[in-house]
Amino acid sequence: MGQHACMMRKPWDLTFTAEPTEVAALRRIMRLHLGIWGLQEVADDAQLCMSELVSNVITHVGPGTPVTLAVSMNGVRLRIEVHDPDARALPTLLDAKVESESGRGMALVDAIADRWGVQLHADQKVTWCELVTGLTSPNGHVEGPGVGRAEALLECYSGANPLLRPGPGKVGRAAAEESVIAVITDFLHWLRAHGCDVDEALDRAQTRYDAGGLPWVECVTVETH
pLDDT the model gives residue 184:
87
pLDDT the model gives residue 159:
64
Residue 89: other Cβ atoms inside 10 A = 15
* Residues whose CB is less than 8 angstroms from the CB of residue 48 and which lie 6 or more positions away in sequence, other chains included: 108, 112
pLDDT the model gives residue 209:
76
d(CA 161, CA 188): 18
d(CA 170, CA 167): 8
pLDDT the model gives residue 38:
86
Per-residue pLDDT of the chain (225 residues; tens, 9 = 90+): 444 456 788 999 999 999 999 999 999 999 999 988 889 889 999 999 999 999 999 998 999 999 999 999 999 999 999 999 998 877 766 654 544 444 567 889 999 999 999 999 988 999 999 999 988 888 777 666 666 677 677 777 666 665 555 555 565 567 677 778 888 888 899 999 999 998 998 889 888 877 765 444 344 444 444
**Model confidence, pTM:** 0.63
pLDDT the model gives residue 103:
52
Nearest to 176 by CA among 161, 194, 197, 190: 161
Distance linking the first and last C-alpha atoms of the chain: 44
